[in-house]
Amino acid sequence: MLKKTNQFVLFFCGFSYLCSMIIEPVAFFHSPLTSKFGIPRQSGLAPELRGTIVLTPEFRQVEAVRGLEGFDYLWLIWEFSANGDRQKLTARPPRLGGNERMGVFATRSPFRPNRMGLSCVRLDRIDYEDKHAPVLHVMGADLMDGTPIYDIKPYVAYADAHPEARCGFVDSNEWQPLEVIIPDSLCSRFSGEELSALRDVLAQDPRPPFHHDPSRVYGMPFGGADVRFVVNGGVLHVTDITE
């Protein structure tokens, strides 16, 4: 795989042929989360977290999104653009405490052979008045600010939903969100909606799964501020929020 400024050349080799496919971003994602640390590990885990999808000039036309307003959810195909070209056959899922390895194709690890991500997000509205219109406003995404998006497709329940499906090790390892405590003195930095989104993000425990030191202070950027916190047992306590 060759990468040149968000452009990929993918080569698929067969016994007697060589073909190539060039893919380029159709949009870029914008979010309060500007670093990998703190990104929800799955879409939908922080349902109040807002983000916007700004189409590239080639697709920044009303025709490109015609009919999309009739759908509640979208599939996004995107790139783990902040990750290096690390390729491993196994990964350590947080659901298993970060201590047990599974095959990379049996996990949602962000370190994938082609660094491609797939997320289902809720479409809140389409803004046709913005200077970059049409802009898609979505909720519950697990993408970092600036993430390139390579395709957008509507979620179709009859084909995409399988509530009876087995989910491997996920079924037997229930995830317990953290209790999040933010002192009233620190809440004024964000609006009520932003605070709700921040609580959703922190409740998913942004720490690496093998970190358990209750005295360690962690920090993550959110909405232009630096949020500091400690975790003791099942409780996350925000200690400071600074510009």
8 A C-beta contact, residue 102 and residue 88? no
Of 168, 200, 218, the one marking the end of a domain is 168
In a domain, 151, yes or no: yes
Does residue 158 share a domain with residue 71?
yes
224: left (phi over 0), alpha (psi -120 to 50) or beta: left
Does residue 238 share a domain with residue 193?
yes
Whose structure tokens read 């399988």?
Answer: 162
Does residue 39 share a domain with residue 62?
yes
8 A C-beta contact, residue 210 and residue 200? no
Alpha-carbon span 35 to 83, nearest angstrom? 11
In a domain, 7, yes or no: no
Alpha-carbon span 148 to 7, nearest angstrom? 10
Does residue 51 share a domain with residue 161?
yes
Does residue 105 share a domain with residue 46?
yes
In a domain, 13, yes or no: no
pLDDT tens track of the chain, all 243 residues? 334 445 445 444 454 455 678 899 999 999 999 999 999 989 999 999 999 999 999 999 999 999 999 999 999 999 998 887 667 899 888 888 888 899 999 998 888 888 899 999 999 999 999 999 999 999 999 999 999 999 999 999 999 999 999 999 888 888 889 999 999 999 999 999 999 999 999 999 999 877 888 999 999 999 999 999 999 989 999 999 998
In a domain, 1, yes or no: no
Please count the structural domains in the chain: 2
Does residue 158 share a domain with residue 221?
no
**Residue range of the domain that includes 182:** 177-242
In a domain, 143, yes or no: yes
Taking the model in full, what pTM does it have? 0.86
Alpha-carbon span 119 to 143, nearest angstrom? 8
